[in-house]
Amino acid sequence: MDCVEDIIHELCRNMKIIHKKIHICRRYWDECIEPYSSMEIKEDEVVYEVELPGVDKDKIKLWLSEDRERIYLEAFGDERKYCDIYRLPYRADPDKVDAEYRNGLLVIRVKKVRAGYEIKIK
């Protein structure tokens, strides 16, 4: 029975993710531009570079999804609005995500979280 409950739980989680993505797409479909971006997977981190010309640093919003598998971006310039969703190759630790913005380029760094380590019993 646990297997069936796990499947149902996973389906519900995926439906919530799909619902959020549809909501974001509808909200910004007509007025949003998908910025040019690239992703590089390194040994200890994933790095996203996002071009946001004409945007001030204080007009950029980034947030990590509840499931910690996506980063959402909203950025507002004088004449344009950028929006995108970046799927992470693994769940992120919120304390291990950094972003820096200079000269129209946003660099997002997501450190890999060490997994599979032994838990010491006290």
- The 10s digit of each residue's pLDDT in 10-19 is 777 777 677 6
CB-based contact 53:103 (threshold 8 Å) = no
**Across all residues in the chain, what is the average pLDDT?**
82
Q: What is the mean pLDDT of residues 92-118?
A: 86
Q: Judge whether residue 42 has pLDDT over 60.
A: yes
E strand intervals along 1-122: 37-41, 45-51, 55-64, 70-77, 81-87, 97-102, 105-111
Q: Judge whether residue 29 has pLDDT over 60.
A: no
Of residues 73 and 29, more confidently modeled: 73
pTM comes to 0.70
Beta bridge partners of 33: 82
pLDDT tens, residue by residue, 64-77? 888 888 899 999 88
Three-class DSSP category at 66: coil
